[in-house]
């Protein structure tokens, strides 16, 4: 820490001999900057693949965390997909990179149908999501007017997290019948155990959340099938439930996204270890305060305002502090943020002045990888050394 | 609300006859989208100018809220500045638009000096900020090596908000002497009453915060001058203290930024009215929940995760809900956010189901205009009608 700049011995680690393509190192990269540890990312991807392969269920990665063509290629089993997206911008960007099997997993609205039609016309098998007869009507009208099929999934609410119909809601059948009557193809039912992020965590609770998610989807599919309508797909998933689920019977595919990078929320739930987190924000120490805290040049613009689980844990912060080589500096966190300033202080049992000097560099682990990554235009990719081996662009917007 | 789509009578308001340059209306713009009410923005700008003109003190607007050439032109007294920026990206973008008088008001670090030199060589009068002898050394070395002057302000901490030296800290003199010895021009002392955002608000408290800010800067400048060193500038400011300050004696300029748009934090402090807030996020209702809440297609990606003052107010939320014409829907707020989903519920005395229907459009007022605007690539500009009269690009990054 105090002597972090002498720690370049790490360059002797295996892999460090790889020449940097960009000629930059974490020691001289302009800060703040988003750093992606490729080794960790690949291990995270491999872990999810192993888990689902063991259960024989296909994976449909969610690309909203990454929003990067290069990360998508690492995530997907094939260049064509399957994939999940959260915006039509993602669908369009990934379609241009050759991905043709996607679910746009946010409830559809009228203003988005024209672009969905355009994607279908490009040969992209884009499926939509809805949970109301009003939306069926919108989709059916557009489909007829355009002469283009717009297949849909019905969203099921398995845990009161946000959208979807409860698995016992007869409205599920009303929506399925409306799709059938209007000639809109029904892909199946889709749910997401988002409340698993808000629980106490631990293997047992996460396995229970996974089973609740599976049962809700199966029940909804059963309601539709019992009425004599086809319901081919049963799509479930979230990173915690995908990794801790023990039974995937009746499930046709699993969606998950944040596992590609992991974050402090996932570590807090026991889903990963902090040392599995693949993205961090590189920052410079630009000030020292009388009260022993240090100031870095990464504020909410670089870290996001996401408090993750820290608020409920009684120690609100915006990220955990690591040294330049990604090793945790225990007890140090970003305890305050302004637009371009972060204030590093001690949390938990740690105390005393923050052992960081002006000019020193640190890496901040994110509470929420999706939110922190979204604040940046590119990943600076490292693997086993401080050399930046690549810059991978990312995109936001809708 | 239920009949918001019948409210197009608003098109009869003055200004509504202006033809839309883009041909789009808020009724059909793809959601989510950032809307800028030009009338409100111009009134906010005029209010700040009136206040500071009455006190005869120059204004140096902070452009970090807007990050837009068009908004900068509306804000600045002249095409050349003066202006304040929070990133070198801002300095470079605004320099390309002809702005030549800027302070980069975040403590300087080594990795940023090369670009600062490049801006100075382009003829931009860019000044830097520092509060330590270590930073003086860095700046002086770079300045000598490049043969380019790098004038600096010394940051003063007037309220324990983030960086800077306390106004009684003898280190101020050590920094000033180091600058003098090294031949680095000292512009003056600079402070920011950021804690004014975290107080109880109200005219009296804000005026007291303004006086504290002024006194801290004056004291620091006095310490330097008493030692026989020049300290030409005394730069203070924040939106609340600039608008409520009653005495600007000894102050050479005032910096402020968020007043251009205002937000719910400023309204909560009594600095503005909610109806002065010039930016909002246009969203579509994409779902209804059994519990009476509604789902919109604006989550944290469109609104940010900034809770503003709502957490301390005991009703945490991510923005207040208005109808499509920007009229408040009292008691409705975005009570939860996921990446692309917002959950609209009732807060305060209001109760019962949220009176919004699937397909309806709303506008969300931001807790923090800087943070919400930063989530978007452009402003959709309206003035007196739903017609979008212009799209103004904005930029992020460093």
Bridge partners for B378 per DSSP: B393
Q: Does B397 touch chain A (CB under 8 A)?
A: yes
Distance from CA of B384 to the nearest CA of A (A): 23
Model confidence, pTM? 0.94
Q: Give the residue extent of every domain in chain A.
A: 4-30+278-393, 41-260
Q: Would you call A138 and B359 a contact, using CB atoms and an 8 Å cutoff?
A: yes
Q: Are strands A378-382 and A33-37 parallel, antiparallel or unpaired?
A: parallel
| Strand ranges, E, within chain A | 33-37, 59-61, 83-85, 101-104, 125-130, 152-157, 165-166, 186-191, 233-236, 253-256, 279-288, 294-296, 320-322, 328-337, 342-346, 361-365, 378-382, 390-393
The arithmetic mean of pLDDT across residues B335-362, rounded, is 93
Region label for A262, one of left (φ > 0), alpha (ψ between -120 and 50) or beta (otherwise): left
CA dihedral defined by B22, B23, B28, B31, rounded to 10 degrees? -10
Kindly list the residues from chain A whose CB atom is less than 8 angstroms away from the CB atom of residue B357: 134
Q: Are strands B279-288 and B294-296 parallel, antiparallel or unpaired?
A: antiparallel
Kindly list the residues from chain B whose CB atom is less than 8 angstroms away from the CB atom of residue A157: 289
Q: Would you call A30 and B306 a contact, using CB atoms and an 8 Å cutoff?
A: no
The arithmetic mean of pLDDT across residues A113-132, rounded, is 98
Confidence band, pLDDT 50/70/90 cuts, at residue B22: low
Under DSSP, is residue A125 helix (H, G, I), strand (E, B) or coil? strand
Across A303-312, A326-335, B347-356, least confident range: B347-356
Angle at B202 between CA B300 and CA B329, to 5 degrees: 45
**Interfacial B residues in 264-293 facing A (CB < 8 Å):** 284-291
pLDDT for residue A195: 87
Tokens representing B284 are 């579509």
Q: Does B340 touch chain A (CB under 8 A)?
A: yes
- How far apart CA A219 and CA A224 sit, in angstroms, is 9
- How far apart CA B265 and CA B272 sit, in angstroms, is 9
Element containing residue B345 per DSSP (H, E)? strand B342-346
Under DSSP, is residue B139 helix (H, G, I), strand (E, B) or coil? helix
pLDDT for residue B250: 98
Q: Which fold has domain A41-260?
A: TIM Barrel (3.20.20)
pLDDT for residue A369: 98
Distance from CA of A357 to the nearest CA of B (A): 10
Q: Would you call A163 and B297 a contact, using CB atoms and an 8 Å cutoff?
A: no
pLDDT for residue A272: 98
Q: Does B257 touch chain A (CB under 8 A)?
A: no
**Does position B10 have pLDDT exceeding 70, yes or no?**
no
Kindly list the residues from chain B whose CB atom is less than 8 angstroms away from the CB atom of residue A111: 28-31, 284
Kindly list the residues from chain B whose CB atom is less than 8 angstroms away from the CB atom of residue A304: 304-305
Q: If you compute the radius of gyration of chain A from its CA atoms, what whole number of angstroms results?
A: 23
pLDDT in tens, B277-315: 999 999 999 999 999 999 999 999 999 999 999 998 889
Q: Does A371 touch chain B (CB under 8 A)?
A: yes
- How far apart CA B302 and CA B61 sit, in angstroms, is 25
Residue of A nearest to B369 (CA): A339
Q: Does B173 touch chain A (CB under 8 A)?
A: no
A4-30+278-393: CATH architecture: Beta Barrel (2.40)
pLDDT in tens, A133-144: 999 999 999 999
Residue A335 phi/psi, 5-degree rounding, is -90, -10
Size of interface A-B (CB pairs under 8 A): 163
Q: Would you call B29 and A375 a contact, using CB atoms and an 8 Å cutoff?
A: no
Under DSSP, is residue A169 helix (H, G, I), strand (E, B) or coil? coil
- For chain B, give the mean pLDDT: 93
Of B141, B234, B146, residue with least CA distance to B186: B234
Q: Which fold has domain B39-259?
A: TIM Barrel (3.20.20)
**Interfacial B residues in 297-326 facing A (CB < 8 Å):** 297, 300-302, 304-307
pLDDT for residue A14: 36
Q: Would you call B287 and A107 a contact, using CB atoms and an 8 Å cutoff?
A: yes
Residue B144 phi/psi, 5-degree rounding, is -65, -45
The owner of tokens 């008493």 is B226
Q: Would you call B110 and A370 a contact, using CB atoms and an 8 Å cutoff?
A: no
Asked if ipTM goes beyond 0.90, one says: yes
Q: Is the dihedral of CA A270, A271, A275, A277 positive or negative?
A: negative
Cα distances (angstroms) measured from residue B20 to each of A332, B7, B278, B302, B387:
52, 19, 19, 24, 5
Confidence band, pLDDT 50/70/90 cuts, at residue B78: confident
Bridge partners for A236 per DSSP: A254
Please, which residues have CB within 8 angstroms of residue A140's CB and are 6 or more apart in sequence?
A178, A179, A182, A183, A184
Residue of B nearest to A398 (CA): B32
B267 and B277 Cβ atoms separated by less than 8 Å: yes
């Amino acid at each position: 820490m105090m002597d972090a700049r002498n720690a370049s011995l790490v360059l002797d680690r295996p892999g460090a001999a790889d020449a940097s393509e960009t000629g930059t190192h974490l020691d001289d990269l302009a800060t703040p900057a988003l750093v992606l540890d490729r080794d960790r990312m690949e291990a995270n991807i491999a872990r999810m693949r192993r888990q689902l392969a063991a259960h024989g269920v296909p994976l449909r990665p969610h690309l909203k965390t990454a929003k990067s063509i290069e990360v998508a290629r690492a995530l997907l089993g094939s260049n064509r997909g399957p994939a999940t997206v959260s915006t039509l911008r993602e669908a369009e960007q990934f379609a241009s990179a050759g991905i043709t099997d996607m679910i746009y997993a946010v409830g559809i609205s009228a203003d988005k149908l024209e672009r969905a039609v355009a994607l279908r016309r490009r040969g992209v098998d884009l499926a939509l999501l809805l949970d109301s007869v009003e939306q069926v009507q919108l989709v059916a009208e557009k489909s007829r007017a355009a002469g283009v099929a717009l297949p849909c999934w019905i969203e099921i609410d398995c845990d009161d997290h946000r959208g979807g119909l409860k698995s016992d809601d007869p409205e599920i059948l009303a929506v399925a019948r409306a799709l059938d009557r209007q000639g809109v193809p029904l892909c199946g039912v889709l749910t997401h155990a988002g409340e698993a992020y808000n629980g106490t965590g631990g293997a047992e609770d996460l396995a229970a959340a996974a089973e609740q998610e599976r049962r809700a989807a199966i029940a909804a599919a059963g309601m539709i099938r019992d009425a004599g309508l086809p319901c081919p797909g049963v799509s479930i998933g979230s990173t915690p439930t995908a990794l801790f689920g023990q039974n995937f019977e009746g499930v046709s595919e699993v969606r998950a996204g944040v596992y590609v990078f992991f974050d402090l929320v996932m570590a807090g739930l026991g889903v990963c270890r902090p040392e599995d987190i693949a993205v961090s924000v590189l920052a410079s120490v630009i000030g020292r305060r009388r009260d022993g805290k240090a100031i870095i040049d990464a504020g909410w613009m670089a870290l996001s305002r996401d408090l993750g689980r820290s608020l409920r844990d009684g120690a609100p912060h915006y990220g955990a502090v690591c040294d330049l080589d990604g090793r945790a500096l225990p007890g140090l966190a970003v305890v305050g943020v302004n637009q371009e300033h972060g204030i590093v202080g001690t949390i938990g049992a740690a105390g005393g002045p923050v052992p960081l000097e002006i000019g020193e560099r640190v890496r901040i682990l994110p509470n929420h990888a999706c939110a922190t990554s979204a604040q940046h235009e590119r990943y600076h990719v490292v693997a086993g050394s401080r050399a930046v081996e690549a810059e991978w662009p990312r995109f936001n917007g809708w």
